[in-house]
Chain A
């Protein structure tokens, strides 16, 4: 379908805009973008809804004229801060795409070490790599219009959100925790099986992806609305899990940063836990 045809698309007789979309990656694995390319069945429909002008995983051409920027990854380098500022300036809508962009994601795990130099040495050895001491979510540097959670994002959800954006519908994220969908999938509660899980406090919408495979939730989508993390702490203890177990999970993706910090205080741990100098 060429662009002129697409311009005339309507829904219920209402003309629809065809937004120009660009994908960018900061510090990340690009796994979220891969979710889009992976979706062969609906890829053509997707491409007729929007005009993709910048997508390193799928095309070589580049353009700076775009309406919606999907930015994957966290900010861990000085040059990324500059790139992000440019993207913000060009985009009408800036989407934090995936947990790294929303919360810092797995990359923010380095934030919990006391000595950044030690971390750098462990990871990169003697190679000279420019990297900041901490990994940060996009919102620490620019305003973010829309967040798509998940590590990785769920392609069905991305499709739904893009369709909603094109239709001019407001985006409403699930406010309920993972347990809702886990029960819908008729899984046995992982606590009954003796495994820890952040499902009761983590935002749903993932179709309980991990618990479906008998893998407890690590909270990649961040807290559900009105999440009762304090009570989960009590429950974890009752089920015989250590505070460390809970802290590891709360810290894994950065979405529960505040709760993790609170727990660290309760555990009388320093804000940055590991000495990391040996």
Chain B
């Protein structure tokens, strides 16, 4: 006996999406800092690999059977279809296990999930990519997009701040970014004796970039901001002050997640699902999320 219930018709395909896991392999691990590693991950089945695609800003759920599952923003170029790269800080149970992982370990991947940075709508504009700490990890994907389509954008500036020089991520990439005519400013809060760059908070780097710019520049600028709430709050306030519309500033929020699919409620901010309506939000939406800032 079955009962005819309501709502839209569910097809088997829809339902199978829920716990669908790509089996993947860690293709390489590189140590970026004491706490962060970059994992190159390849879906094993070539047909599945061909079908997997994502947009900059989206995340995947990475699973180690029996150990756990957690969301990670993708740090690699969306055009690279062979593998994805995840920059992971050792913080909890799963990441501690990953820190011991070596090449060849088999992991599960679900996704990609969530919203993305609207790169196409930024064509023809100036872009400010502003990162604090681990916030550079999700920015590396839109940066790669910009590199691959450099002539579609005007002035592009990366502003990056960390606590101290030992925490700088992706140092091997800085020259490559500059070579593609992407401005790169780096600032640290606590310099070591060898540090020759600027010292202070990220807003110190931002100030000269937007100061004295004419209305045409400001109106034609979008910003992508990733970092801890206190950082993106002050950065976005400064950008807003300069006249950049809030709906042209994008931030990526980080929350606890157990499903990635708008069910478990662990990622809710106010009562908005970070996994469905985010992780990428424009700043106007963030302003309307009661608990976000």
Q: Which residues of A contact B (CB under 8 A)?
A: 11-14, 167-170, 172
What is the chain B residue whose CB lies nearest that of A163?
B66
Against A, the Cβ 8 Å flags (1 = close, 0 = not) of B80-101 are 0000000000001100110011
Contact B100 A13 (CB under 8 A): no
B270 interfacial by beta-carbon distance below 8 Å: no
Chain B residue with Cβ nearest A172: B93
Query: B67 touches which one: A13, A167, A172 (CB < 8 A)?
Result: A167
**1/0 contact trace for B100-114 toward A, CB 8 Å?**
111011100000000
Contact partner of A14 among B92, B93, B100, CB < 8 A? B100
Answer yes or no: B64 CB below 8 A from chain A CBs: yes
Task: Tell me the B97-146 residues at the A interface (CB within 8 Å).
Answer: 97, 100-102, 104-106
A12 to B23 alpha-carbon distance, docked (Å): 13
Chain A minimum-CB-distance residue to B67: A169
**Residue B4, interface by CB 8 Å:** no
In the complex the two chains form, what is the Cα distance from A172 to B68 in whole Å?
Answer: 13
Residues of A within 8 A of B67 (CB): 12, 167, 169
Report whether B101 and A169 are in contact in the complex, using a CB–CB cutoff of 8 Å. no
Least distance between B35 CB and chain A CB atoms (Å)? 15
A residues in contact with B97, CB < 8 Å: 167-169
Residues of B contacting A14 in the complex (Cβ-Cβ under 8 angstroms)? 100-102, 105
Given contacts A168-B96, A169-B96, 16 further A-B contacts (CB under 8 A): A12-B64, A12-B65, A12-B66, A12-B67, A12-B106, A13-B104, A14-B100, A14-B105, A167-B66, A167-B67, A168-B97, A168-B100, A169-B67, A170-B92, A170-B93, A170-B96
Contact A12 B105 (CB under 8 A): yes
Determine the chain B residues whose CB is within 8 A of the CB of A11 once the complex forms.
66
Task: Judge whether B93 and A169 touch: CB under 8 Å.
Answer: yes
In the complex, A13 Cα to B102 Cα: how many Å?
Answer: 9
Inter-chain CA distance A14–B92, complex, in Å, is 18
For the complex, give the distance between the alpha carbons of A12 and B68 in Å: 13
User: A14 → chain B, closest Cβ, in Å?
Assistant: 6
Q: How far is the CB of A146 from chain B (nearest CB, A)?
A: 15
5 shortest A-B CB distances, which residue pairs? A170-B93, A169-B93, A13-B105, A12-B105, A14-B100
Give CA–CA (A169, B65) in the complex, Å: 13
Minimal beta-carbon separation of B276 from chain A (angstroms): 26
Q: Report how far A169 CA is from B93 CA in the complex, Å.
A: 6
Enumerate 28 A-B pairs (CB-CB under 8 Å) in ascending A order.
A11-B66, A12-B64, A12-B65, A12-B66, A12-B67, A12-B105, A12-B106, A13-B104, A13-B105, A13-B106, A14-B100, A14-B101, A14-B102, A14-B105, A167-B66, A167-B67, A167-B97, A168-B96, A168-B97, A168-B100, A169-B67, A169-B93, A169-B96, A169-B97, A170-B92, A170-B93, A170-B96, A172-B93
- Can you name the residue of chain A whose Cβ is closest to the Cβ of B100? A14
B94: min CB distance to chain A, Å: 9
Which A residues touch B96, using CB under 8 A? 168-170
> Which residues of B lie under 8 Å from residue A12 when comparing CB positions?
64-67, 105-106
The residues of A that contact B93 with a CB separation of less than 8 Å are 169-170, 172
User: For residue B105, which residues in chain A have a CB less than 8 angstroms away from its CB?
Assistant: 12-14
Contacts of B92 in A (CB 8 A): 170
